[in-house]
Amino acid sequence: MSFIVDYYNYWIVVFLMMAGFYIVISANNLVKKVVGLNIFQTSVFIMYISIGKVSGGSAPILADGITSYSNPLPHVLILTAIVVGVATTAVGLALIVRIKRAYGTVEENEFKDKDALI
Amino acid sequence: MILETLSTILLISGAFFSLTGAIGLFKFPDFFTRVHAASVTDSIATILIISGLILRTDFDLVAIKLLFILVFLLLTSPTASHALAKSARHGGLLTLAEIRDTQNKDNG
Amino acid sequence: MAELIDLVLLGMLAITALRIIFLKDLFAVVMLFGIYSFLSALIFVNLDAVDVAFTEAAVGAGIATVLMLGTLALTGRKEKANSHTALLPLLVVIVTGAALIYGTLDMPPFGDPENPANQHVAPRYIEESPQEVGLPNMVTSVLASYRAFDTLGETAVVFAAAIGVLSLLGLPKQSQATIESGLKSHLVLRVVAKLIIPLILVFALYVQFHGDYGPGGGFQAGVIAAAAIILYALVFGLPLATQVIQPKLLKILASMGVLIYAATGVAGLFFGGNFLDYNVLASDPVAGQHIGIIVIEFGIGVTVFAAILSIFYGFASQAERANIQ
Amino acid sequence: MLVLTATSVAILSVMALALARALKADTVYDRILGVNMVGTKTALFIAVMGFLGGRPDFLDIAIVYALINFIGMIAVLRFFEYTATDGEPGDKEQSS
C-alpha cells in the first residue's frame, strides 16, 4: 500500500502526460491539439508540485504553531509557468484563427493539400 | 458547545442536501427537472455548509470571507442555472410532458 | 486524509483526460478541459500549493476556457473523423509511457522530507526569508525578491505574447459602439453582472495588495481584474467594453507594467546595489524589500491585466467581425 | 473533526457524481449543468478543506473558484447565442 501511495502521483502524471501527447500526435484538429498540449503541460505542473510536497507539511505561508512547510520553490516556478502557458496558448489559438481564415479549415490533413493553392 | 452542535447539524444536513441533488442529477427524467434538482439543492447546501463553517470560526476575517463566498455563490449559482435553463429553452429543448404531447399527436 | 483526497482527485483527473481523448465534439472537449483545470487546481490546494492553485483556477480554468470557446466560435465545433490510423501514435505513447513509468521508480517517494529537491535551497527560503524579506508568504518572497530576475523574464513573455496575438488578430475599432450586442435577452444576468463586477474589481485589488500575507499577488490580481472586464464584455457586448477600457489604453498599460518592473531594478543600480536589489531602496533593508516587492507586484499586475484583456479583445473582435459579415 | 471529514467526503462524492454527469451526458445542456455543479461544489470543498487542514485562511481560492465558474458559464451561454444560427446546440452529441 505504501508503495502505491509513494509513486501514485508520478504514475498519474505519466498517464496524463501520455494522454496529452497522444492527443497532440493523433488528432487532426488544431484546437484539440492545443487542448492536448495544455493537458501535457498541466501534468508537468502536478509533477513539480508533487515533488515539493512534504508529508505533514503545510502551505508555505508563515503562521504561528506550524513548524514544517512544503517547498516553496516549485510553487514559484509553476506559478509563473501557468501564466506563461496561458499566454502561449493564446498565441497558438490566434494562429489557429488566422489559419482558418487563410485555408478555410483547421484540420491538419486538409490544409496540407491546399498549400499549392496559395 | 452549543455552537459546535449547531454547526454539526448544519454541516450534516448540508451534505445530505447536496447528495440528494447529485442523485437527482441522474434520476430525474428530463433536463429541466434536472436543473431544478441541481440548482435548488446547490443553494440550500451552500447556505447550510457555509453557515455551519462560520459557526466554527472565531468570527474574525475568516468568517467575513466565508460570508463573501456565501453572498457570491448565492448571487451567481441561481443566475447561472436560470440563464442555462432559459438558453436551453431558446435552443429548442422540450420538457418530458411536451415530448409526450407531440408523440401522442403523432400517434393519434 | 490528505493522501486519500489526493488519490481520489488524481483518479478523477485521469478519467477526465481519458474522456477528452475520445470526444469528437470540440465544445464538450473544452468544457471537460475546464473541469480538468478546476480539478488540477484542487489538487494543488491539497498539495499545499495555494498560490499555484489560485493562479491555475483563475488563468487555466477561466481565461484559457474563454479563449478556447472564442476560437471554437470562429472555427466550428465538430472535429472531423480521423483519416489515418491511430496505431502508430498509440505504440509511441505506450513505449514512451512505459519508459517513463520505469523511470519514476527511481524518484524519491511522494512527500519525502529527505527528497533532494527539498534539501538544496528550500530550507534557506523557509527559515530565513521571513527575516530577510519580512513577508509571511514565502512564495511571494521567492517570486518577487530572490528570483525577481526570472519573474521579470516571465512578465516580458506575457507582454510578448500579447504583442504576438495583437499582431495576428488586431484590436477592435472603437467606432462600432452603436452595434447592439451581448446577451440582450438575459435580463437577470445583466442585473446580477452589474452587481458583481464591482465586487470582482475590489477583490482583485485585495488580491493584489494582500499577496504579501496570503495567497495572491500581481499575476492573480491582474487576471481577476481582466476577468471582471471580460465578464462585462460577455454580458454587455464588446463595443461597450471597449468604451470602458479603451484598447489604446491597454497598449500603454501593458508596456508601463514591464517598465515599472525594470525601472525598479535600475533604481537599485542607482542606489548602489545590484539590479533588482531592493535592500538599498530604503535605509532599512527589510523596508526596502517591502517597497520593492509592492512596486514590482504592481507592475506585474498592470502588465498581466492589460495583456490578458488585449488578448481577449483580439479574439472577441474577430468573433464580432465574423458575426457582422 | 469527524463531521468535517464526513462533509468533505460527501461533497467529494457529489463532485464525482456531477463529473460522471458531465462525462456521460445526453445533451450539451446536461454537460454544462454537470460542469457548473462541479464548480460550485469545488468552492465548498475548498472551504471545508481549509478547516480540515487547520488553516482556514486560504478561502480566497474558493472565492476565485466561484467567480471563474460564473464567468465560464456566461462564456458558454454567449457561445451558444453566437453559434445559434449554424447548428442546433440541443441536438444529441456524437461521440465515439
Domains present along chain A, CATH in parentheses: 2-117 (1.10.287.3510)
pLDDT at C185: 74
Give A116's DSSP letter. G
Alpha carbon of D11: minimum distance to chain C alpha carbons (Å): 11
Task: Specify whether the CB–CB gap between A21 and A40 falls below 8 A.
Answer: yes
Q: How far apart are CA D4 and CA B55, in angstroms?
A: 13
Sort out which chain A residues have CB atoms less than 8 A from D53's CB and list them. Answer: 58
pLDDT at C118: 83
- On whether any CB of chain B is under 8 Å from the CB of C202, the answer is no
Subunit partners of chain A (3 or more CB pairs within 8 A): C, D
Residue C128, C-beta contacts closer than 8 angstroms, at least 6 positions apart: none
- On whether any CB of chain B is under 8 Å from the CB of C195, the answer is yes
The reply to whether B54 falls in a domain is yes
Helix, strand, coil percent content, chain B, rounded in steps of 5: 85, 0, 15
C window 247-286, beta carbon within 8 A of A: none
Would the CA dihedral through B70, B75, A82, D34 be positive or negative?
positive
Chains C and B touch (3+ CB pairs under 8 A): yes
> Average pLDDT of C94-117?
88
> Average pLDDT of C173-186?
63
Sort out which chain D residues have CB atoms less than 8 A from B93's CB and list them. Answer: 27, 29, 90
The reply to whether B41 falls in a domain is yes
**Each residue's pLDDT tens digit, D62-71:** 899 889 999 9
pLDDT at A18: 94
The reply to whether B105 falls in a domain is no
Sort out which chain C residues have CB atoms less than 8 A from B85's CB and list them. Answer: none
> Average pLDDT of C235-254?
88
Structure confidence at residue C68 as a pLDDT band (50, 70, 90): very high
Sort out which chain D residues have CB atoms less than 8 A from C324's CB and list them. Answer: none
Cell numbers for B67? 460570508
- On whether any CB of chain B is under 8 Å from the CB of D67, the answer is yes
Interface predicted TM-score of the whole assembly (ipTM), two decimals: 0.90
Q: Is A23 exposed, middle or buried (0-12, 13-18, 19+ CB in 10 A)?
A: buried
Subunit partners of chain D (3 or more CB pairs within 8 A): A, B, C
Cell numbers for B20? 440528494
Q: How far apart are CA C274 and CA B103, in angstroms?
A: 79
CB-defined contacts C:D, below 8 A: 134
Structure confidence at residue D93 as a pLDDT band (50, 70, 90): very low
pLDDT at A105: 82
The reply to whether B20 falls in a domain is yes
Sort out which chain D residues have CB atoms less than 8 A from A63's CB and list them. Answer: 55, 57
Full domain range(s) for residue B23: 2-100
Please judge whether C54 and D22 are an interchain contact, meaning their C-beta atoms are less than 8 angstroms apart.
no
Question: Into how many domains does chain B fold?
Answer: 1
Please judge whether D19 and C235 are an interchain contact, meaning their C-beta atoms are less than 8 angstroms apart.
no
Higher pLDDT, A58 or B107: A58
Q: Across all residues in chain A, what is the average pLDDT?
A: 87
Sort out which chain A residues have CB atoms less than 8 A from D57's CB and list them. Answer: 61, 63
The reply to whether B108 falls in a domain is no
Please judge whether D67 and C65 are an interchain contact, meaning their C-beta atoms are less than 8 angstroms apart.
no
- On whether any CB of chain A is under 8 Å from the CB of C305, the answer is no
The reply to whether B76 falls in a domain is yes
- On whether any CB of chain C is under 8 Å from the CB of A78, the answer is yes
A10, B24, C225, D63 from C208: Cα distances, Å: 34, 40, 10, 15
pLDDT at A1: 66
Could you tell me which residues of chain A have a Cβ less than 8 Å from any Cβ in chain D? Answer: 58-59, 61, 63, 66
Query: How many other β-carbons are positioned within 10 Å of the β-carbon of residue B44?
Result: 16
